[in-house]
Amino acid sequence: MPEIYSKYPMVKYLRKEALPTALCPGCGGGTVLNAFANAVDQLKLDPRDLVVVSGIGCSAWIASPYFLADTLHTTHGRAIAFATGVKVGLPDKKVVVISGDGDLASIGGNHLLHAARRNIDITVILVNNFIYGMTGGQVAPTTPFGAKTTTTPYRNIEHPLQISETIAAAGASYVARWTTAHVYQLIESIKKALTVKGFSLVEVISQCPVQFGRRNRMKEPAEMLRWFLKNSVPLAKARKMKPEELEGKFVIGEFVHRQRPEFTEELNKLIDEVQEHFGLKGGDDV
């Protein structure tokens, strides 16, 4: 087990035997891990009350195995479905999904949509680096129009999916989008997402300098961070802009924050009603 010299207090939330992380130098995923640890710390959450679920991809490696909690590393795209089973089985624990845009919104799009519709009380931190990073940099449903990737070597002819807007419409209780450059707002947003009862999504625009940045003239992580800062538009302002003006921009902010009936609560309420109806409660009549 390596000795960790860092004096950063958040290190206590990490699985030390797995460090240093396998993430590339400058990967935004590391910043998300940092923000998540800060959020857990500021909320005074005990990691024993957390279960973290992830899928396949670089972003799925953020919490698994690096975050010290019960961690479930699943098959590609299915993290949210696994998390649904975990949450129903352990309704008192906080179930968090930390995974990538390809994993959760491409192959796993169906599960993301229905978890939002069900409004199940899980927190999804969707790390959007708009590329399939781990497999070498192929185009993703979130890749900007015109960008170069290994499978769009000329230019991308598709337009990216607006994940936050879509999931807000599907019924989520809390949806926000930030970038890794907006790290303070990100921490506050994750705290809120963990606290809200119902389905919460925090979409984090994150830099992948090695697969995306390098092929699109931004090979330094800091260059990508500056690009995020320059092209971020707060939601209030974006609502007044025209679609053409928003092309290539990141709309950041909190999209939705509302109360809706939550799935595990409704499920347990139903069980109660059924047992009441059939006279199954109590234990005096064996």
Partner 1 sequence: MIIRGDEPEQIRLLRKLYKPGNYFMQGNEAVAYGALFAGCRFYAGYPITPSSEIAETMARELPKLGGYYLQMEDEIGSIAAMIGASWTGFKVMTATAGPGFSLMQENLGYAVMTETPLVLVDVQRSGPSTGQATKGAQGDFFQARWGTHGDHPIVAVSPTSGQDAFWEIIRAFNIAERLRTPVVFLFDGVLAHTRELIKIPYVDEVEITYRKLPRDEEEAKLPFGDPHGDGVPPMPLFGHGYFTHVTGSTHKENGLRDVYTPEVHDRLVRRIHRKIEKNREVYEKYEEHFTDDAEILVVSWGVTARPALGAVLKAREAGIKAGLFVPKTVHPFPGERMRELGKRVRAILVPEMNLGQMILEVQRFVNDDVLLKGVNKIGGVPLTVEEILREIRGVA
Partner 2 sequence: MAENANTVVEKNGYLVVGKAEGIVEIDVDTFLCKGCGICVEMCPRKVFEWSKELSEKGVHYPVPVHAEKCVKCKLCELLCPDFAIAVRW
CB count within 10 Å of CB 3 equals 5
Q: Residue 21 or 138: which CB sits closer to partner 2?
A: 21
Instruction: For residue 78, give the nearest of 118, 120, 108, 58 by alpha carbon.
Output: 108
Residue 19 within binding range of partner 2, rule CB under 8 A: yes
Q: Residue 145 or 184: which CB sits closer to partner 2?
A: 184
Residue 23 within binding range of partner 2, rule CB under 8 A: yes
Residue 97 CB, shortest distance to partner 2, in Å, is 20
Binding site for partner 1 (CB under 8 A): 15, 17-18, 47-48, 51, 53, 64-65, 68-75, 78, 81-91, 93, 110-111, 113-114, 267, 270-271, 274-275, 278, 280, 283, 285-286
Alpha-carbon span 201 to 235, nearest angstrom: 16
Instruction: For residue 183, give the nearest of 232, 137, 144 by alpha carbon.
Output: 232
Q: Residue 57 or 160: which CB sits closer to partner 1?
A: 57
Beta-bridge partner residues of 122 = 95
DSSP state of 138: B
Cβ contact 204:186 at 8 Å: yes
Residue 1 CB, shortest distance to partner 2, in Å, is 13
Residue 186 CB, shortest distance to partner 2, in Å, is 9
Alpha-carbon span 215 to 177, nearest angstrom: 25
Cβ contact 87:73 at 8 Å: no
Alpha-carbon span 213 to 220, nearest angstrom: 7
Of the residues 110, 136, 222, 272, which one makes contact with partner 2 according to CB under 8 A:
222
Q: Find which of partner 1, partner 2, none residue 6 binds, CB within 5 to 8 Å per kind.
A: partner 2
Q: Find which of partner 1, partner 2, none residue 64 binds, CB within 5 to 8 Å per kind.
A: partner 1
Q: Residue 111 or 215: which CB sits closer to partner 2?
A: 215
Q: Find which of partner 1, partner 2, none residue 72 binds, CB within 5 to 8 Å per kind.
A: partner 1
CB count within 10 Å of CB 101 equals 29
Of the residues 49, 145, 159, 220, which one makes contact with partner 2 according to CB under 8 A:
220
Q: Find which of partner 1, partner 2, none residue 180 binds, CB within 5 to 8 Å per kind.
A: partner 2
Alpha-carbon span 110 to 80, nearest angstrom: 10
Cβ contact 153:132 at 8 Å: no
Q: Residue 45 or 186: which CB sits closer to partner 1?
A: 45
Helix (H, G, I), strand (E, B) or coil at 270: helix
Residue 286 CB, shortest distance to partner 2, in Å, is 57
Of the residues 21, 135, 166, 195, which one makes contact with partner 2 according to CB under 8 A:
21
Alpha-carbon span 33 to 100, nearest angstrom: 13
